[in-house]
Amino acid sequence: MRRPWWGPPPHDDERAVLDLVDDLAGDRLQRTDDDSSALAAARQVLAEHGLWTLGADESAGGGGADRRTTLLTLARLAGTWPALAWAGVQAHAACLLTAETAAGADLLADVHRAEPVAVVDAADGQVEVVDRRASGVLDRVDATAPDPRVIALVERDTAVLLPPHAVVHGPVLRRTGLGGAMTHACAVHGDIHDDDLVTGPVVERARSLLLAGAAAIAAGTAEAAAYDALSYSRQREQFGGPLTDLPTVRASLSTQVATVRRLLQTALDGTNADDPVATAAALSPTLDDAVAVVADAVQAHGGYGYMVEYRVEGLLRDLVSLRAASGATEAARRAADALVEAGT
């Protein structure tokens, strides 16, 4: 039986996408940690079924799906594999940026073929471009590969498609969450060409898409955990009946489901591509609420919730790690600064 959808009522096309993601998750998307070949195969599966760049413009080779359908797809995928969903968000942002410059044509084609790409917000000075030379250090790259192509958002309205010769990838780091992201740092140092630079409003749209995608992933991860908690509580017997007979358990499950519904509604219909400040401001509390849901789902499993045989423990670790991967704290700070400046 397919997992129910607790978000906004889906249109027919959206329901078909939900069913497709569920079918692939049950058959061909078996989560793994830091296995390059398995991760490449998973990306390829999504590309073969038109999901990897579903929301990219048709004129740029994508599926042309609207923003809500795209975020819905990412949210559903997150319930199976958050790191893969986060890589998909970056692929969509890369499509936006590479379509803006002739130098990005080959990279755009690679992204559609599910080659790994990382889009990293480096606007806090991690990477600088001076006299057509890029330099700096990217502390965290999460792209389901140890050596992805990298696009750095270096200023509010400037991004750079870093050529491979300008990037030195560090070793994959051991971490407790976002399994499969192959997290590592990168040193950046090398010459770039004018065509490697992308400027204008598209950079802010790409940044907003990263933040909105992270919110959708958080909501989708919380939905999967809440569903697991409900299923477990229905089956687990205690004091002569299922856990759902206990008022405190029913209250907790009801709160989890209600929160998930709100998170999905906000993630899919409450984000605005033209208002990146509002999107950034909403991400941190969305992550907070999602973490609270998943933590309650772990508690609903009792001691079993901390065992790797149960999905919820991994989902909780992934959500905590997503905060760092998405730059939610930094984005919230920049959003606050922007609101203060707008009011002065």
**Predicted pLDDT at 333:** 80
pLDDT bucket at 274, cuts 50 / 70 / 90: low
Which ranges of 154-199 does DSSP label H, i.e. alpha helix?
none
pLDDT bucket at 281, cuts 50 / 70 / 90: confident
Tell whether the model's pLDDT for residue 339 goes beyond 80.
Answer: no
Number of H helices, E strands in the chain: 10, 10
Quick one: which of 211, 184, 208 has its CA closest to 323? 211
Tell whether the model's pLDDT for residue 344 goes beyond 60.
Answer: no
Is residue 79 a contact partner of residue 72, using CB atoms and an 8 Å limit? no
Digit-coded pLDDT (tens) for 238-269: 878 899 999 999 999 999 999 999 999 999 98
Digit-coded pLDDT (tens) for 203-245: 999 999 999 999 999 999 999 999 999 999 999 988 788 999 9
Tell whether the model's pLDDT for residue 175 goes beyond 80.
Answer: no
What is the C-alpha separation between 181 and 83, in angstroms, rounded?
Answer: 5
Beta strands in the chain (DSSP E): 117-121, 127-130, 133-141, 149-155, 158-162, 167-169, 184-191, 197-199, 237-238, 241-242
3-class SS at 341? helix
Percent of the chain beyond pLDDT 70?
Answer: 98
For residue 114, the one-letter residue type is A
Domains with residue ranges and CATH for the chain: 12-111 (1.10.540.10), 116-200 (2.40.110.10), 202-342 (1.20.140.10)
Structure tokens at 201: 């409003």
Full-model pTM: 0.94
Tell whether the model's pLDDT for residue 121 goes beyond 70.
Answer: yes
What is the C-alpha separation between 187 and 189, in angstroms, rounded?
Answer: 7
